[in-house]
Homo-oligomer: A and B are copies of this chain.
Amino acid sequence: MAAGEDHERFELGDFILEGGATLRGAFLAYKTYGQLSDARDNAIVYPTWYSGRHWENEWLIGEGMALDPARYFVIVPNMLGNGLSSSASNTPPPYDRARFPHVDVRDNVRAQHKLVTERFGIERLVAVTGWSMGAGQTYQWAVSHPEMVPRILPFCGSARTSPHNIVFLEGVKAALTADAAWNYGWYDEQPSRGLRAAARVYAGWGFSQAFYLDAVFRQLGHSSLEDFLVDFWEGFFLDGRDANNLLTMLWTWQHGDIGRTPGFDGSLEKALAAIEARAIVMPAEKDLYFPPEDNAYEVRHMRSAELRVIPGVWGHFAGGGANAEDTRVIDAALRDLLAD
């Protein structure tokens, strides 16, 4: 499926961001799966993740799965900055390229809320779920719109980006921007050397130590460690991904914090306690940047949340859809949540 040809577009108009900039003519690219019921009571929002596009969420949607389009109306909004929704790469001057403004997680959720309520007239969702930064948006939905969100299933993500996670992302950013071709965002061609360097930095974080020790990358069709680094990782970062867009989303990620939602005095704990949704929170056992203990802390501060760890060696990418067993575990949890 070619990028950009299989989705809908929702106009946000002059969209004022948390940071003060106005994105004129802003829009969300999104795709829906299934049919909205007449009562508009079968919708699930499933946001994208760092650099992900809607089609990269589809592994968790399907006939016979929890997110079954025969039963639910699944809305996948592309994150601002991902290259399909308003982004550095597709915004006309003067807010284009290096001038594309900072986007907060709350900006994303506000845009998605407009989509859900204005385009579809939905007043209450069935659930929100998402991987990684999608999990962060899931938490933000539950905090910003508790009356609309009865269930959440954030997986391999957190309600607030931890200091260590911020540092990991600094490494990715530093590698990308060490390439002089990046030119502070004013490049004409992608700074591919910096993108490849960022990919190699990311590689150590995305999967666990045990994943590499056991050479599990062979299951993904890679013939050697170096082949995995080149074909999977460098290929991933070169696959239609834009440097400024990656930096936009990286900023969004680093600044994710539901505690900064108005009314909570910057307190993560207060914001967690305000979540009304029933939650199943799913860290991956060996996730190196969203370690299970951070989710355990969150769950202790939530009203109705269960911690359910995804076991195994895949680390963060347990939530990426590439390992059938992990997909089964996440799907089963979604089924439990939706049955409740």
Contact = CB atoms under 8 A, between A and B. Distances in A.
Interface of A: 162-168, 170-171, 173-181, 193-194, 196-197, 199-205, 207-213, 215, 225, 229, 288-289, 291, 293-294
Nearest to A169: B204
Report copies per complex. 2
Contact of A225 (B166, B193, B229): B166
Contacts of A194: 178
A212 B294 CA distance: 12
A164 B204 contact: yes
Contact of A175 (B162, B168, B201): B201
A163 B215 contact: yes
B162 A174 contact: no
Contacts of A170: 200, 203-204, 229
Contacts of A215: 163
Contacts of A212: 162-164, 166-167
A181 B179 CA distance: 9
B162 A209 contact: yes
A324 to B, nearest CB: 23
A196 B213 contact: no
